[in-house]
């Protein structure tokens, strides 16, 4: 069954789930560093001014930025990049359980072509 664009997804569900976990870890560190580096740089200025206060305020945003980086990019990968359905080789998209924190691979996929639900190991869900 070809999809709308004529191409079938190439990622197996287990590879797709591993990619989601890697994106979570990289997004967490990336979000942390995106706020921490400017906050430390501006916070360590010798002159007292507006930029020093921005650096102190930026230190309060380090944890929310890390959480945002861990959740949003992983959800985008899960929702926009399909995995290959083990039953019909169609497009299997991850459901909304990718950010519950109940485990790294504790979510299911739903195939948009055949309608079956499956887990990252290929078993029926």
Q: Work out the number of other CB atoms within 10 angstroms of the CB of residue 123.
A: 10
- Tokens 């995106």 belong to which residue? 34
| The pLDDT of residue 44 | 73
| The pLDDT of residue 95 | 74
| The pLDDT of residue 60 | 83
E-only strand ranges, the chain:
83-84, 91-94, 109-111, 117-118
Q: What are the mean pLDDT values of the chain's consecutive 10-residue runs (125 residues total)?
A: 60 86 92 86 72 73 90 88 88 66 67 86 74
| The pLDDT of residue 99 | 44
Rounded Cα distance, 9 and 42, in Å: 45
């Amino acid at each position: 069954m070809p999809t709308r664009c004529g191409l079938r997804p190439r990622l197996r569900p287990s590879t797709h789930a591993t990619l989601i976990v890697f994106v979570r870890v990289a997004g967490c560190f990336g979000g942390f560093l995106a706020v921490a580096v400017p906050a430390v740089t501006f916070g360590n200025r010798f002159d007292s001014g507006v930029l020093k206060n921005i650096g102190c305020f930026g230190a309060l945003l380090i944890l929310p930025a890390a959480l945002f980086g861990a959740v949003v990019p992983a959800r985008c990968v899960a929702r926009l990049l399909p995995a290959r359905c083990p039953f019909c080789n169609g497009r299997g998209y991850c459901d909304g359980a990718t950010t519950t924190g109940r485990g790294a691979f504790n979510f299911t996929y739903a195939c948009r072509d055949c309608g079956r639900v499956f887990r990252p190991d290929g078993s029926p869900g």
